[in-house]
Amino acid sequence: MKTTATDLLRKQHRQVASLLKKVLGSDDGQERRKLMDEITDHLQRHTRIEEEIFYPAFREGAGTQKADALVRESFEEHHLVDVLLEEIPEMDPEDEQYDAKVTVLKEVIEHHVEEEQDEMFPAAEKKLGKARLEELAVEMQELAGEDPGSDEE
């Protein structure tokens, strides 16, 4: 079975959620830095494929004001994540504000994921169809530097 764009994005959402949980569960400063680097890498690739491929295709394919509003809000949520991802690496993982900032990052991401998975993805699946979503997945994997032929998790 071929991967669709929404399948790929859901998989990435799960990976980031898992990494965030590990950061908040660790008390090892070095491990936390390493995990945050990994999260930053994942989120930068994820944001890029959403903004450059998925959102434009969704906006065009859905062609509704609701789709347009969802995409605009998603861009703003990505901006908030970017700001936090600039600040967190500058912090000492032992700083008492570190957990607070990572928690806010996690909450912003959870809200964003919930909206995408509950509203945007079902609309995309209905309006774009499976074949188009499979084409988008290949484009997204290529842009992210992944092998479109592999479906490893």
64-71, long-range: CB < 8 A, 24+ apart: 64/123, 66/123, 67/120, 67/123, 67/127, 70/115, 70/119, 70/120, 70/123, 71/120
Q: How far apart are CA 23 and CA 56, in angstroms?
A: 32
- Write out the two tokens for 82: 């970017």
- pLDDT at position 96: 85
Q: Which domain holds residue 113?
A: 5-143
Helix (H) or strand (E) holding 94: none
- pLDDT at position 148: 67
- pLDDT at position 152: 44
Which runs of consecutive H residues, i.e. helices, occur in the chain?
A: 5-25, 29-49, 55-62, 65-87, 96-115, 121-143
If you ran DSSP here, which 8-state letter would residue 51 be given?
Answer: I
3-class SS at 57?
Answer: helix
- pLDDT at position 153: 41
- pLDDT at position 149: 63
CA distances from 122 to 78, 118, 152 (A): 20, 7, 23
Q: Is residue 105 within 8 Å of 88, Cβ to Cβ? A: yes
Whether 48 maps to a domain, the answer reads: yes
* pLDDT tens track, the chain, 153 positions: 799 999 999 999 999 999 999 999 998 999 999 999 999 999 999 999 999 999 999 999 999 999 999 999 999 999 999 999 999 999 999 888 999 999 999 999 999 999 999 999 999 999 999 999 999 999 999 998 877 665 544
Q: How far apart are CA 153 and CA 41, in angstroms?
A: 17
Which residue reads 């959620």 in tokens?
17
Whether 148 maps to a domain, the answer reads: no
Whether 151 maps to a domain, the answer reads: no
Structural domains counted in the chain: 1
Whether 69 maps to a domain, the answer reads: yes
